[in-house]
C-alpha cells in the first residue's frame, strides 16, 4: 500500500510490546503502591500538624479578643484597665512586652508550620 509516496506496512502502529516478566511487573506495582501509601501518610501528617498549629493560633487570637472586649467593657463603665494605663504611661512595659511576645510566638509558630 502506497500513501503519500511512502510504502505503508499493514499492521499495528507504534512500538511492539516487549515481553515483560510478569513477576517483575507485579513487584514494581507493589513497590509503587507502598511508595504511594507512604507519600499519602506523610501528606496527612503534614496536614494534621498544620491544622493543630492553626488551631493554637486561633485560640491565642480568641484570648486576645476576649481581653480587648473586657477592656472595652471596663472603659464603657468609666474605668481604665491597668494594662492600658501601663501602655499609656510607659510603666510596666514588661507585661505588655510579655503579652506581645506570646502573640509573636504564636504567629511565628503558625508561619513556620505553614512553610513545609
Helices (H), 1-116: 22-76, 82-89, 93-114
First to last CA, the chain: 59
| Ramachandran category for residue 90: left, alpha or beta (phi over 0 → left; psi -120 to 50 → alpha) | left
Higher pLDDT, 68 or 90: 68
Extract the C-alpha cell encoding 78. Answer: 468609666
114 pLDDT more than 60: no
Q: Which three cell numbers stand for residue 18?
A: 516487549
Percentage of the chain beyond pLDDT 70 is: 60
The pLDDT score that the predictor gives to residue 90 is 79
Give the SS3 label for residue 2.
strand
Unique residue bearing C-alpha cell 476576649: 66
The model's pLDDT over 26-71, given as tens digits with 9 standing for 90+, comes to: 999 999 999 999 999 999 999 999 999 999 999 999 999 999 999 9
The pLDDT value given to residue 12: 61
pLDDT band of residue 81 (cuts 50, 70, 90) is confident
Q: C-alpha grid cell for residue 100?
A: 506581645
Q: CA 37 to CA 31: how far, in whole Å?
A: 10
Give yes or no for a contact between 110 and 49, defined as CB atoms under 8 angstroms apart: no
pLDDT at 23: 85
Amino acid at each position: 500500500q502506497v500513501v503519500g509516496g511512502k510504502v505503508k506496512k499493514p499492521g499495528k502502529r507504534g512500538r511492539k510490546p516487549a515481553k515483560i516478566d510478569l513477576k517483575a511487573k507485579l513487584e514494581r506495582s507493589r513497590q509503587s503502591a507502598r511508595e504511594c501509601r507512604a507519600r499519602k501518610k506523610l501528606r496527612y501528617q503534614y496536614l494534621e500538624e498544620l491544622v493543630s498549629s492553626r488551631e493554637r493560633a486561633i485560640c491565642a487570637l480568641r484570648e486576645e479578643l476576649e481581653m480587648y472586649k473586657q477592656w472595652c467593657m471596663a472603659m464603657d463603665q468609666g474605668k481604665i484597665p491597668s494594662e492600658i494605663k501601663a501602655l499609656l504611661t510607659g510603666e510596666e512595659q514588661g507585661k505588655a512586652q510579655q503579652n506581645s511576645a506570646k502573640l509573636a510566638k504564636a504567629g511565628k509558630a503558625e508561619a513556620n508550620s505553614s512553610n513545609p
